[in-house]
Amino acid sequence: MNKNLQITAMATLLMLSTMATADAPIVQEVTTDERGGSWTVSVTLTHTDTGWDHYADGWEVLAPDGTSLGIRVIAHPHVAEQPFTRSLGSIKIPDGIDHILIRARDNVDGWFDSTFRFVLEN
- pLDDT single digits (tens) 3-32: 554 554 444 444 444 444 458 999 999 999
- pLDDT single digits (tens) 31-89: 999 999 899 999 999 999 999 999 999 999 999 999 999 999 999 999 999 999 999 99
Q: In this structure, are strands 99-106 and 84-91 parallel, antiparallel, or unpaired? A: unpaired
The pair phi, psi for residue 56, each rounded to 5°, is -70, 120
Q: Alpha-carbon Rg of the chain, whole angstroms?
A: 18
Nearest to 57 by CA among 116, 98, 110, 9: 110
Q: Is 0.85 surpassed by the pTM of this model?
A: no
C-alpha distances in Å from residue 106, one per residue of 45, 93, 112, 116: 11, 25, 8, 16
- What is the C-alpha separation between 90 and 28, in angstroms, rounded? 22
- What is the C-alpha separation between 35 and 31, in angstroms, rounded? 14
- What is the C-alpha separation between 35 and 49, in angstroms, rounded? 34
